[in-house]
């Protein structure tokens, strides 16, 4: 099987192109997705390839084009909605939560909503408070939505293809700091199932649960853990709703210690939900309290130094791992 080296953004582009070629009901809509090739160039070349009826430049009206997509999905199309930033999805929260997430239930199964809502999310680099919200836990809270956060180009392509084929609304959040990440992926077509995580690093001393950019950061820390004599196991859930809790539980049963790392805030964060699931299933396996590394409880500032101090860091992850091992 051949491989190709691509950027994270190119992997997403390939997924959309392949699915639009496979299924004429798939279309892309959002601000600047057409003539501008996407704010982050994820839709590069797609307007020329598929035309303006399938790559639709929308007005600056997230509530409007998200509602249009919900209606299109109800009638048999499979829209991909791109938000220029997931911060702007808050403008469309009523369409996402009251309509996309609940229509299947409220229609007694008569109307499924096969749509993907995707785009960059999470803290970027000095874009200040209103453009740095971590939305993961907001969407994961509501039944009816699937929530996907890939950490690699390989996962981004395989998971996005599966999300487009899924008959439920899928929130697909791409950390914009990963768009320039390069990785080898298969040249052949592939998909990855939603709701199935991955053990990215195998170890025996402590389980670290991290996703999106945090999984990428922790994976780069392997040499640091080795220097400290710590055998770390990294579990990337990939999809936080549904969550592959069985994979996490198997790792906890082996290591007996857990650190959860996320870019979101501590209170009501995704990590709080994961910790609750671990305590419910694995309490007798734990030899230490679950440690969490999170964003501090403040809007993210513009100032570079304070921004860095607000977000999870490798040093904070190492301190948490040592605390879980009673080595501080």
Question: Which has more pLDDT, 133 or 215?
Answer: 215
Same domain assignment for residues 123 and 203: no
What pLDDT does 300 receive?
87
* Mean pLDDT in residue range 132-159: 96
Q: How many domains are contained in the chain?
A: 2
* Mean pLDDT in residue range 90-104: 96
What pLDDT does 233 receive?
98
What pLDDT does 18 receive?
98
Q: Which of 186, 220, 251 is the last residue of a domain?
A: 186
Same domain assignment for residues 62 and 166: yes
With beta carbons less than 8 A apart as the criterion, state whether 65 and 83 touch. no
Q: Please report which confidence band the pLDDT of residue 124 belongs to, taking 50, 70 and 90 as the band edges.
A: confident
Helix (H) or strand (E) holding 209: strand 206-210
Query: Does residue 1 register a pLDDT over 80?
Result: no
Write down the pTM of the prediction: 0.95
Query: Does residue 291 register a pLDDT over 80?
Result: yes
Q: Which residues contact 153 (CB under 8 A, 6 or more apart)?
A: 6, 7, 8, 10, 11, 181, 182, 183, 185
What pLDDT does 112 receive?
96
Residue 207: inside a domain, yes or no? yes
Residue 192: inside a domain, yes or no? no
216 is a catalytic site residue: no
- Share the mean pLDDT of the chain: 96
Query: Does residue 129 register a pLDDT over 80?
Result: no
Q: Which of 125, 154, 186 is the last residue of a domain?
A: 186
Same domain assignment for residues 310 and 250: yes
What pLDDT does 184 receive?
96
Host domain of residue 42: 3-186
Q: Please report which confidence band the pLDDT of residue 132 belongs to, taking 50, 70 and 90 as the band edges.
A: confident
With beta carbons less than 8 A apart as the criterion, state whether 209 and 177 touch. no
Cα-Cα-Cα-Cα torsion 141, 142, 145, 149, nearest 10 degrees, comes to -20
Same domain assignment for residues 238 and 125: no
Helices 270-282/245-255 angle, 10° precision: 60
pLDDT in tens, 208-217: 999 999 999 9
**Cα separation, 50 vs 321, whole angstroms:** 49
Q: In the block, which residue shows the tokens 């090739």?
A: 37
What pLDDT does 120 receive?
95
pLDDT in tens, 175-191: 999 999 999 999 999 99
Same domain assignment for residues 63 and 174: yes
Residue 191: inside a domain, yes or no? no
- The helix/strand/coil state of 43 is coil
Q: Please report which confidence band the pLDDT of residue 154 belongs to, taking 50, 70 and 90 as the band edges.
A: very high
Q: Which of 18, 62, 233, 307 is catalytic?
A: 62
Percent of the chain with pLDDT over 70: 100
Angle at 184 between CA 181 and CA 186, to 5 degrees: 130
Same domain assignment for residues 141 and 280: no
CATH number for the domain including 166? Answer: 3.40.50.970
* Mean pLDDT in residue range 44-61: 97
Report in angstroms the alpha-carbon separations of 217 from 26, 131, 210: 34, 21, 9
265 is a catalytic site residue: no
Residue 193: inside a domain, yes or no? no
CATH number for the domain including 318? Answer: 3.40.50.920
What pLDDT does 301 receive?
86
What pLDDT does 127 receive?
79
* Mean pLDDT in residue range 15-28: 98
The rounded radius of gyration (Å) of the Cα atoms in the chain is 20
Q: Which of 31, 82, 131, 256 is catalytic?
A: 131
Same domain assignment for residues 203 and 156: no
Same domain assignment for residues 146 and 19: yes
* Mean pLDDT in residue range 60-87: 96
């Amino acid at each position: 099987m051949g491989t190709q080296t691509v950027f994270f953004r190119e992997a997403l582009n390939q997924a959309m192109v392949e699915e639009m070629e496979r299924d004429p009901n798939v279309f892309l809509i959002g601000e600047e997705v057409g003539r501008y090739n996407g704010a982050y160039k994820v839709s590069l070349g797609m307007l020329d390839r598929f035309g303006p009826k399938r790559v639709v430049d929308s007005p600056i009206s997230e509530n409007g084009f998200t509602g249009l997509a919900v209606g299109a999905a109800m009638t048999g199309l499979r829209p991909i909605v791109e938000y220029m930033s997931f911060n702007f999805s808050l403008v469309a929260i009523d369409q996402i939560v009251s309509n996309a997430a609940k229509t299947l239930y409220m229609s007694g199964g008569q109307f499924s909503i096969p749509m993907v809502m995707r785009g960059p999310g999470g803290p970027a680099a000095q874009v200040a408070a209103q453009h740095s919200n971590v939305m993961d836990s907001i969407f994961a809270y509501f039944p009816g939505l699937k929530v996907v956060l890939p950490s690699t180009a390989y996962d981004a392509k395989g998971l996005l293809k599966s999300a487009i084929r899924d008959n439920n609304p899928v929130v697909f959040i791409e950390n914009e700091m990963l768009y320039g990440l390069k990785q080898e992926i298969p040249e052949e077509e592939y998909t990855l199932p939603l709701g199935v995580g991955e053990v990215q690093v195998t170890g025996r001393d402590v389980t670290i649960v991290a996703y999106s950019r945090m999984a990428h950061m922790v994976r780069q820390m392997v040499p640091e853990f080795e220097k400290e004599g710590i055998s770390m196991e990294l579990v990337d859930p990939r999809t936080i709703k549904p969550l592959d809790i069985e994979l996490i539980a198997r790792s906890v049963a082996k290591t007996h210690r857990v650190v959860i790392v996320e870019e979101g805030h501590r209170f009501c964060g995704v990590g709080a939900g994961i910790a609750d699931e671990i305590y419910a299933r694995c309490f007798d396996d734990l030899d230490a309290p679950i440690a969490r590394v999170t964003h501090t409880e403040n809007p993210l500032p513009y100032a570079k130094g304070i921004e860095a101090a607000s977000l999870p860091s490798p040093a904070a992850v190492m301190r948490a791992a040592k605390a879980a091992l009673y080595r501080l």
